[in-house]
Structure 1
C-alpha cells in the first residue's frame, strides 16, 4: 500500500489507498431492519427514526435522530415515527461519493488560548477557516462532515462561564462556539459531566445547535436520552447517508455522584453490538465517535506517560465493528489525546478494514479523513486519505525573517469574522475573571517545570500548599474542621511564577472540577492507603524514560502536613513500603483504631477510575497486578464545596503563596 497526504482544500482528487475486505450484498430497497408504525413509542429492540433540524451553519442536508434504548436488547427494527416508510440508503448502484470527515477531540475548551507575551492562539477560528474552505471547494460528489469526538469541557478559563449551578450559568462556551462554527455532531465525553449532568443539560439546551451522541450513557437524573442526547443519528449530505454513533468511556466518567446517583455508563462494546448492525443497514457509511481511548485494556499513548486502563478502547470497538458490518466504518477517537495518522495512513490503525484516527487534543490539530465510497461494494472497493492539519501557535515576538515565522499563526490564518463575532464576546465576559489578582507568589521555587517534574516522584511543594490550604479552610466547613487532606498528582497541572497571581494562573494549576468529600478513616485504613500509595511512586529508575509532562496514571497521592511518612523503595514497587508513619505527630501504631477525617477530591473519592483506587490492580505501568486500596468504600460527607474555590479563598485571605504559609517542602515525605 502507498499513501499520500492532501491539502485540505483539494478533496480526494488522488485516491491512493485501497482497503481490502469482504464485499457486502447489494442493499435491498426495503431492509429487514426497516419498518414503520404510526405514532407509537419504540418497543424493546426497536429504534425510531425521527426527523430533526441540522445545525444551520453545518453541512447536513437532512438529519434523523434514532430514539430508543440501544442497551435493552439488540436492535432488530428501525421504525418511522410518523408512519411513513423509512427510506433505504441513498446511493444507487454504480454511484460513488466522497465523504470528508473533519474532526477534533478533547478540545477541553481551548477555543482560543490567551497569552500576554505570545498573543492569542485562535485555535477554533483556524479550524473554521479550514472547514469553510473545504466546504466551498468540495466537488459535487463530495460530502463534508465536521465532528467532535468529545471532552469539550474542563481545561480552560472558558469553563467558568458555566458556573457551578444553573443559576450561575452564563454560557456553554464550547457548544456556543461550535454551533457558530458549523459543527455537525459531537460525542459526549467523560469530562462533559465534571460539573454535573444538570449543568451539561443547561449547556445543551442553551447553546448546542447540533446533536450530542452517546449510545452507552444512561439513567441520569437530569438528562434524558432521546431528548437531551441521542444514541445515534443518520445524516444525509449530497445523496450520501452517514450513520453516526457516539460512545463514552465507561472507565473514567464520573458516575455515583450524590446529585446524580443513577447516572451510569454501559460498556461500549455492548452498545456497538446491539446498535451497529441496524444503523449500518440503513447507511452507506458509519462514523463511530468513540470517546473511549486508543488501544484496549492496559495501554499507553497520548497524554499517558505510562500504561492506563482503557477498557473497551478503539481497538476493541473497531474489531467488533468489522465483524458486525460490511459497510465502510470509521472510528473517530478521543479521550487518550493520541496523535494518529499525522503522516498519512498508519496500517496499525486499520483493524480488519476499519480505520481508527484521533487528532491529539486541545485543538492542536484538525483531523482530516477523506473516503471514496462506492454503492453496493462495502469495504471491498473504498479508498481513503488521512492526515492531521496542525493548528498554528501564536508567538508575535518572532520576526518575519526568523525561520520559525512561517510555522506560527499569522493574520489570515484564522476566520476573523468568527473570532470577532463569537469568541471575543466570550472573552469579554471573562475579562474580569481572567485578570483578577487573587494574591501574590512570594517565592520563585513553584514554577511549572519544577512542579511538573516532582509531582510523581516524591514531595511536591505546591501540592503541600493546596492540601494544607484545604485543612485550614475546613474550619469554615459545615461538617467541621478536617484532620487531613489529599489530592492526586495528576491534578497538579502547572506551577506559578513569582509575582502577582491571577485567577487564570491558578486555574491553570487546578483546571479540574473537583468537589470536596470528607471521609472518616481509621488509622489502620490510612496505613493501608499509604502502603498502596508508595507502590504508585514513579521510581528513580523509571524517571529517565518517562515524559514527565505526560500523565502517569497511577493515582499517586499528596497529603497535608499532618500525614508524614517515609518510603522504603525496595527492589520494586511490590516490595516498597511506607514506614515511620505519623498522624498528627503520633506514631500510626498507636492510633490504628482511632478515627480521623480527611478531605478527598471527587476524582479520588469515586475511585480514581483508570488511576485505580477501586480495588482493581494499580496499573499505570506498575508491574505485578497489585490490588489497590478502595477509596469508594469509605463513609463520606459530600460537602458540595469545590476544592479549587477553597484554595483560592485561602490565597485571598492570606494574600500570598509563600514558604511561610505552606508553599515549600517540609519533609512530610522522604524517600530512602
Structure 2
C-alpha cells in the first residue's frame, strides 16, 4: 500500500484517502506523543509471550471527549503498516470465552473435579498446532474474569491479603492475547484489581468507557483500544464495559464511573478501523438492549446500551471486516452455526455462555485491501465436559464426561494445581454441620427464592442480625438479601467453606442504612411488586436469574403480600416491625443491613428509581435506596455468616433454619 507524507506531517494510506478524511483519521508523527483532545497516541506495548501477537500497540487517550480525528505516533515510532499485497488472504481465527468468573476448575467431592479452563487450553493449543501457514489463531476473553468461585479468595480484600489473581495468572500462562474489563472485575475494588493487573496479567486489558478510578488509571492500567500485528495482518480491538451493573459509587473509590459504551464506540470506531485490516469489538455489555431476556436471565433483564445498541451505532461506520465478541448476559449464540438474527446492522454478534462451558470459535477469511469485499466468516461453539468419576468406562455415556484426554493435564498441574494448593486448607475446612436439609437443600432453595419465604434466606438474615452486635456502629434492627444472590442450597452433613461460598458467591460488604417506618412501608410495597407471581412460575426457569430485585428480610419484619390482579396492584399489608403495627412506628428510625449490590441501587435489578425490570409489566418505578444514609461497615457479608456458623457449629431449626410465616403471600 502506498504511503503519502504531507507537508503538515500527516501520514495517510491510499485507502484512507479514498474513503475520505472525515471517516479515516490520519497519523501524526511528532516527538511528544501526548494526545491532544480528539487524538489517540499509538504506543508500543508488551504482549503476552505465551500468546500469538507479533507486536501490539495501545491506543491511548480520551475516548469519551468526542470523535477521534487523528492518531499520533510516539517519537516517530514504527507503527503497524499495511504490508499485505492486495487480495492476499489471511484466515483470522478467534477462540473466545466470556464470564469465566474464576470457574477455572470446578470442585466436587463425589463427581470429581471438572477442569473447565484446562479443557479450553487444550482446544486452543490443538487449534494452533493444526493451523495453516496463512492462519492466525488468537485467544480472547470478553470479561468478567473474577467473582464466582473459591479462587476469588486468593485475591483478598485488601492489598496485604493479596495472594494471586487466579484468573489473570491462568490466562497469562495459557496464552490469552487480550481481554476487556467486565463489571465484576471491580467487585473487590479497583485497588485489588490493579494489583492483579500489575502482578499477574501479561496481556492488554481494554475499556474505552471506564474512567475516574482513584486506583486505576486509563492509559496506564488499561487502554481504550489496541492494534495487534500478526503475520502482516493488523487487528484492531476496542473494549467496552457495561454501564448498568458495574459497582460504581463505593466509598473506597467514589469517582469510578462508566460512560455509555455507545458514545465511546461512536467516537473510536473510525479511528481504530483506519489503522486496522479487521476490527474486533470486545463488548462486556450484554446481548440485546433496554430490557432483554437471554442467557442467565429467566425474565427480562436491564441491559441498557447492550450489543444491539452498539451494533446499531457502529454499523453505518463499518468499512472493513468486523465482529463483536460479547459477554455479560451469559448468552449462548450461534450454537448451530451462524444465526442471521445475530447479524445486526451487518455486525456479527457472538457469545459463548459462561463459566467455561463453551469455547467460541470465529473464523474470518480476509482478502487484504478489499474492505468488506472478499471476506467471509463462520462461527461455532465447542462445549466442555463435566466430570463424573462415578460413570464406569463401559457405560454408554462414559465419553460424554471429562476424561484426562479432554484437558491439558500438564497445564492443570503446572498452573492451576499450585493455586489450588493455596486454597486447600480454606476449601476443605468444615465450618459447621447441617442437621436437616429439608428446607435448605438446593431444590427447595431454588424453588422458594423468587416466590415467597425462603428458609435459607431467613437463616442468613437472622444470623447477620445476631452478628450485628459486633458491628462498628452497633447492632442493627433488620437485614435483607436479594433472591438472585442465593445461588444454591446446602445439604445434610458437614458443611465446608467451599460449599457455603457456592451459596453466596458474590462479593458483598455490609452497609447499614437508617430508615423510618414510613420508608420501610414504601420499601416493602415496592418489594411486593417484584415477587414472581403464581401465574408466572410455570413458564419461568427458576434455576435462572429472575432479575427484578426481590428481597428477603430478617424476622423483625413480618408482612403479607396481597397479589391483586397484577404486579402494579400488589401491596404489602399487615406489616409489623419488631411486633408493632407499621402505623404506630412511621416516624421511628430503624437500622437496616444491606448487601453492597442492593445498597448501590441493584443496578439492573432497579432499586435506583428506574422502572422495575425482570419482566414486571406496567413500567412501575422502583424506590431509589441510594438516597438513604449509609454507614459502610467494611465487613464482608459472607465472612460474617461463616464466622457465625463456626460459632453455632450446627445449622438447624434451633439456630435459625425456619419458615415462620414472616412473609405470607395472599391471592
| TM-score when normalising by structure 1 | 0.95
Which residue number corresponds to residue 331 of structure 2?
A: 338
Which residue number corresponds to residue 529 of structure 1?
A: 523
The residue correspondences of 1:166-181 to structure 2 (distance < 5 A) are 166-181=159-174
Kept in 2: contact 1:33–1:76 (CA 8 A):
yes
Which of the residues 221, 224, 229 maps onto 1:236? Answer: 229
Kept in 2: contact 1:333–1:358 (CA 8 A):
yes
Paired with 1:229 and 1:86, the residues of 2 have a C-alpha distance of: 20
Equivalenced residue count is 649
Which residue number corresponds to residue 655 of structure 1?
A: 649
Which residue number corresponds to residue 640 of structure 1?
A: 634
Matched, 1:120 2:120: no
Which residue number corresponds to residue 417 of structure 1?
A: 410
Which residue number corresponds to residue 576 of structure 1?
A: 570
1:47-73 CA-partner distances (Å, limit 9, x unpaired): 111111210000001111111111112
Which residue number corresponds to residue 428 of structure 1?
A: 421
User: Structure 1: any 5+ residue segments left out of the alignment?
Assistant: 1-23
Which residue number corresponds to residue 202 of structure 2?
A: 209
Matched, 1:500 2:494: yes
Matched, 1:405 2:398: yes
Which residue number corresponds to residue 10 of structure 2?
A: none
Matched, 1:26 2:15: yes
Matched, 1:547 2:547: no
RMSD over equivalenced CA pairs, Å: 1.3
Q: Using the TM superposition, give the Cα deviation of residue 472 of structure 1 relative to its aligned residue in structure 2, in angstroms.
A: 0.7
Paired with 1:414 and 1:82, the residues of 2 have a C-alpha distance of: 46
1:256-276 CA-partner distances (Å, limit 9, x unpaired): 000000000000001101111
1:644-668 CA-partner distances (Å, limit 9, x unpaired): 0111111111112111111111110
Q: Using the TM superposition, give the Cα deviation of residue 87 of structure 1 relative to its aligned residue in structure 2, in angstroms.
A: 4.1
Q: Using the TM superposition, give the Cα deviation of residue 622 of structure 1 relative to its aligned residue in structure 2, in angstroms.
A: 0.3
1:279-335 CA-partner distances (Å, limit 9, x unpaired): 011101100110000001110000000001101111111222211221111110000
Which residue number corresponds to residue 468 of structure 1?
A: 462
Query: Aligned to 1:144, what secondary structure does the other structure show?
Result: strand
Paired with 1:232 and 1:663, the residues of 2 have a C-alpha distance of: 51
Paired with 1:370 and 1:289, the residues of 2 have a C-alpha distance of: 16
Query: Aligned to 1:26, what secondary structure does the other structure show?
Result: helix
Kept in 2: contact 1:27–1:376 (CA 8 A):
no
Which residue number corresponds to residue 49 of structure 1?
A: 42
Query: Aligned to 1:97, what secondary structure does the other structure show?
Result: strand
Which of the residues 535, 538, 546 maps onto 2:532? Answer: 538
The residue correspondences of 1:311-322 to structure 2 (distance < 5 A) are 311-322=304-315
Paired with 1:436 and 1:609, the residues of 2 have a C-alpha distance of: 34
Kept in 2: contact 1:523–1:594 (CA 8 A):
yes
Which residue number corresponds to residue 443 of structure 2?
A: 449
Query: Aligned to 2:655, what secondary structure does the other structure show?
Result: coil
1:570-602 CA-partner distances (Å, limit 9, x unpaired): 111001111000000000000001100000000
Matched, 1:282 2:275: yes
Paired with 2:14 and 2:286, the residues of 1 have a C-alpha distance of: 32
Query: Aligned to 1:412, what secondary structure does the other structure show?
Result: helix
Query: Aligned to 2:323, what secondary structure does the other structure show?
Result: strand
1:71-112 CA-partner distances (Å, limit 9, x unpaired): 112111111112246443343312121100000000000001
Paired with 2:427 and 2:80, the residues of 1 have a C-alpha distance of: 51
Matched, 1:265 2:234: no
Paired with 2:230 and 2:514, the residues of 1 have a C-alpha distance of: 57
Which residue number corresponds to residue 37 of structure 1?
A: 30
Which residue number corresponds to residue 587 of structure 1?
A: 581
Q: Using the TM superposition, give the Cα deviation of residue 378 of structure 1 relative to its aligned residue in structure 2, in angstroms.
A: 2.1
Kept in 1: contact 2:86–2:370 (CA 8 A):
no
Query: Aligned to 2:654, what secondary structure does the other structure show?
Result: coil
Matched, 1:515 2:504: no
1:189-216 CA-partner distances (Å, limit 9, x unpaired): 0000000000000000010000111100
Which residue number corresponds to residue 618 of structure 2?
A: 624
Which residue number corresponds to residue 287 of structure 2?
A: 294
Which residue number corresponds to residue 664 of structure 1?
A: 658
| TM-score when normalising by structure 2 | 0.96
Q: Using the TM superposition, give the Cα deviation of residue 27 of structure 1 relative to its aligned residue in structure 2, in angstroms.
A: 4.7
Which residue number corresponds to residue 590 of structure 2?
A: 596
1:217-249 CA-partner distances (Å, limit 9, x unpaired): 001000001111111111111111100111110
Which of the residues 247, 267, 270 maps onto 2:240? Answer: 247
The residue correspondences of 1:317-328 to structure 2 (distance < 5 A) are 317-328=310-321
Paired with 1:202 and 1:503, the residues of 2 have a C-alpha distance of: 25
Paired with 1:630 and 1:433, the residues of 2 have a C-alpha distance of: 38
Which residue number corresponds to residue 160 of structure 1?
A: 153
1:30-62 CA-partner distances (Å, limit 9, x unpaired): 964212111241111111111112100000011
Change (3 A) 1:609 1:32: closer
Kept in 2: contact 1:90–1:284 (CA 8 A):
no
User: Structure 2: any 5+ residue segments left out of the alignment?
Assistant: 1-12
Paired with 1:394 and 1:127, the residues of 2 have a C-alpha distance of: 14
Q: Using the TM superposition, give the Cα deviation of residue 340 of structure 1 relative to its aligned residue in structure 2, in angstroms.
A: 0.4
Change (3 A) 1:40 1:25: closer
Change (3 A) 1:540 1:90: farther
Query: Aligned to 1:371, what secondary structure does the other structure show?
Result: strand
1:362-409 CA-partner distances (Å, limit 9, x unpaired): 000000000011122222331111000001111111122222111211
Kept in 2: contact 1:61–1:238 (CA 8 A):
yes
Paired with 1:415 and 1:442, the residues of 2 have a C-alpha distance of: 40
Paired with 1:122 and 1:90, the residues of 2 have a C-alpha distance of: 41
Paired with 1:365 and 1:82, the residues of 2 have a C-alpha distance of: 43
Which residue number corresponds to residue 8 of structure 1?
A: none
Paired with 2:27 and 2:532, the residues of 1 have a C-alpha distance of: 55
Paired with 2:172 and 2:33, the residues of 1 have a C-alpha distance of: 32
Kept in 2: contact 1:194–1:513 (CA 8 A):
yes
Which residue number corresponds to residue 9 of structure 2?
A: none
Q: Using the TM superposition, give the Cα deviation of residue 115 of structure 1 relative to its aligned residue in structure 2, in angstroms.
A: 1.1
Query: Aligned to 1:380, what secondary structure does the other structure show?
Result: coil
Query: Aligned to 1:221, what secondary structure does the other structure show?
Result: coil
Which residue number corresponds to residue 299 of structure 2?
A: 306
Paired with 1:389 and 1:25, the residues of 2 have a C-alpha distance of: 40
1:330-375 CA-partner distances (Å, limit 9, x unpaired): 1100000000001100000011221100000000000000001112
Query: Aligned to 1:664, what secondary structure does the other structure show?
Result: coil
Q: Using the TM superposition, give the Cα deviation of residue 134 of structure 1 relative to its aligned residue in structure 2, in angstroms.
A: 1.0
Paired with 1:615 and 1:482, the residues of 2 have a C-alpha distance of: 25
Query: Aligned to 2:248, what secondary structure does the other structure show?
Result: coil
